[in-house]
Every structure is written in structure tokens, then in C-alpha cells.
Structure 1
């Protein structure tokens, strides 16, 4: 399958999963000291696994809730990125699916089920936003806009509060608590950069493709961090996050 074929399968699977999401009853349980998991997370991931592996026989899934496996074609699935927002009824969460071929990310899509916005891109397929609602062409602001959830509760790193204070002196800062959605917004030009620590592959795989194919950069930091975006603020964030994780 080509990257375009994989993207089409991922996008349709997300659209179908979002329809299911509207029909589900949502119950919530604790997952560790700070995280939560909902029945929607579990049911949507199960649906996506079936749809993706059915459409690409022999493929495997790396998912947040139901385990991981690998194959020449591997899917990275986050059924609801931003669960803590979702279970409180805050409309800042998304479905996120990416495809990797032989370990290289080639396609990604992020679907915002609240606004019905679908962000897609793949190798050879330009970044696109499908949105039925109000869309505004991003403008230029005096200071860069940065999306970050740093510092997170329970983080093992020191110096994050100092970093946040320094960042607020040079940039406008928003805390979204959905990494995949933040990356989609960076790809769309709504923000100049996104950065987080404590992330997992399913949090960032689709968004990394979107940013890259939209002309931005995605840079890993340590074992569980990243910065992505455009402009000098990306280097600024990268250098200071490197100091924190090393």
C-alpha cells in the first residue's frame, strides 16, 4: 500500500470511529496516579484496530490502551488524546492515527470530534484540513504562540517551572492537554510551536507527520520529549528542554 492508501484508510477509520464515539456511554476509571481511562478510549481503540488491520492485512498496532505489536506496516493509535479533557466535557481532545512502513512514519491523521475537523498528510500527499465550521487564516503576532503542557503532574524532571516562566517572557503560551491536537494546530499555522515531555509514540506519531509535511520540523528530545514547529522559538525550546532532560 502507498502512503496515500494508508492515509485514506486511517482517515476513514477515524471518521467512522468518531460516529461511534457519539453513540457511546462514557464511564471513567483511574489509570495510575494522575491519568484516567474511559470506556470510550477502550471501545474506540478496539474499533480502530479492527478497521486498520482489516484494511491492511498483516499490519500491526501500537496503541495506548490495548497493547503493542510491530509489522512492516505499523499503526500508531491514540483513541482519545486528551482523555482528562474529554471526560470533563472540555472540547479539547482528538482521535490520532499514524502509519509507519519499515519503521518510518509515512502518514498521519488527527480528527477533532467536537469541531469535526480532520487534519491529514502523508508522504506525497500535502497537509490538508477538512472542516465544516468557521476557519480563519492564521495571522502573524508580535510574539510566537507556543502550545505546551509543561510542567505535568508527577514529572521526574526538574527545572520545568523555571522553563515555563522563561518561556512566558518570550512567547504567548497555551496549555491544551492534547499533544496530538496541539501538533495538528502547529501544522495548520495556528501556533508556532508545540513542546512536551513525558510523551509516548502514539501521542505524537500522527502529529509529527502533519508538522513535517506542512513544512515544519519535528525534533525528539531525550527519551520522551519533543519540540515541533517553525522559527527561532523551536531552537530556543530545544536547547532548554535538552538542559532539563540531560
Structure 2
């Protein structure tokens, strides 16, 4: 937080932005996580070759870290960003933590033990509502189907849409009941590893645009998602997306 609004910025090879705060946070995680579980760490700010090698050779246990999710927000002074850490084994997250240092909201879950926000079990609210009244988290930019992206703009079945630039918090807002439904065309491993577990442990359902099981899908480093917290909404949302892909 001392670097918020006081940070130098550079560009990575893929055009995304990088700050000294991202690098420093990742280094701090690398130093500290092994005292919890002694296994390697895969961080967003590593090279693709390093990330792939770590994933392939450490299926028994691997930390997956996004040191700052929402770097663009962080750089531009928008107080909506988070740190995300997951412990992953056999391709599936077993523990996950997402922390928003601005609001001091700590979301966390362990597989089979529920999900929590600052000690309060998630979801915070359950509201039965029609899809036409739902608040949707939608990242239209990343939808792979031009047809789906277009129809999300023009024929969306939901009440309103949000795109706030921080995938890890999108998951947590869905788990808390702040969002009702969600769709994303391709999140990176560090964007979903902790958040998807927190959401699942809050009782949410998951699918992918490709139709495979979420955790066993082939697209580990770019995984799509269709999600809704309430079962009835999930079925309606999934049906609409499948019909408009």
C-alpha cells in the first residue's frame, strides 16, 4: 500500500502492465509461503516457460500466486485490486486466500471446510431472483465467441453488468452474493485458483464455455467460466449462454 499511487510502471512482453509493487509482493510470497507448506511457488510475474515447468513437475503441491490482481486499477488509483494465493495439488485448489488491502476484506477457503470473509461464512446473502434482475460479472473483452460477446451487449438476459478489472475479487463477490451470475472467456491460472475454490466452498456451481469439467479441463493457463451462486439461476444462465455461443 505505500506504493499505491507512488509506483513506476513498465510493460511486459504481452503488453500488460507491471509495477515494482507486483515484483516486491511476489518476492515476499516466495520468502514466506514455504514456512506454511514447503513446496515451489508459481507466480504471475514469472516467464511462461518457468510457469509451465513448475505446473508440469509439481502436481503433488504448488503455490499459485497473483501478487497484485488488478494492476491497472492499482496504477490508476482505482481502489479495487487484490492479492491472491492458492495451494494446488493434483490440478485442483485445496486452499485459497484473496485479500483486498483497501477494504481489508480477507476471503478464504479450504476444500471441504467452507468459505469465509473476515470470519463470517459465505455467502453473506442468498436472494432468489429472476435472471432478468440479476447482477452479472461479465468480461466481454475475453469472450472468445464474437456472437456471444455481441449478444451480451445487445440481448443480455440480466438486469445489469459489471466489469471491474479484478478477476479474483469477481469470484469473491460472487461467493458473497454481491454478484448473481458470472462469465469470463479465459482467466489465467493465478486469476482463478484461489477464487474458484472460495466460490465453490460458498456453494456455487461452475461450468466452462467449452463444456468440460472446470478443474479437469485442458486449458489450465486460460480457463473460461460460467457461474451462478443459486442453482435455478445457474441453469437459466448456462442455458442462455449455450444457446448464444
> What range describes the TM-score normalised by the shorter chain of this pair?
0.7 to 0.9
Cα RMSD of the aligned pairs, angstroms, is: 2.7
Structure 1 position 31, deviation (Å): 2.5
Deviations 1:51-102 (A, max 9, x none): 1124322x12222112421421111111111111111010111101111123
- Deviation of 1:241 (Å): 5.0
Partner of 1:77: 65
Deviation at 1:164, TM superposition (A): 1.8
Cα separation, 2, equivalents of 1:210 and 1:100: 13
Structure 1 residues 233, 37: closer, same or farther in 2, change over 3 A? farther
Q: How many angstroms does 1:138 deviate by?
A: 6.8
For structure 1, list consecutive stretches of 5 or more residues without a partner in the other structure. 1-20
Counterpart position of 2:136 = 146
Deviates more, 1:198-207 or 1:95-104: 95-104
Q: Look up the match of 1:234.
A: 234
Residues 158 and 235 of structure 1: CA distance in aligned 2, closer, same or farther (over 3 Å): same
Task: Judge conservation of contact 2:135–2:158 (CA < 8 Å) in 1.
Answer: no
Residue 56 in structure 1 maps to residue 27 in structure 2: no
Cα pair 1:193 1:233 within 8 Å, conserved: yes
Q: How does 1:212-223 map to 2 (within 5 A)?
A: 212-222=200-210, 223=219
Aligned counterparts of 1:192 and 1:209: Cα–Cα separation in 2: 17
* CA distance in structure 2 between the partners assigned to 1:156 and 1:34 by the alignment: 19
Q: Which runs of 4+ in 1 moved over 4 A?
A: 136-142, 239-245
Three-state SS of the structure 2 residue aligned to 1:92 is coil
1:18-57 matches, within 5 Å, as: 21-22=1-2, 25-32=6-13, 34-57=15-38
**TM-score (norm. length: structure 1):** 0.77
Per-residue deviation, 1:168: 3.5
Q: Deviations over 1:158-190 (max 9, x none)?
A: 224323225634332111111110000111111
Paired residue total = 219
Given the two structures, how large is their TM-score scaled by the length of structure 2?
A: 0.78
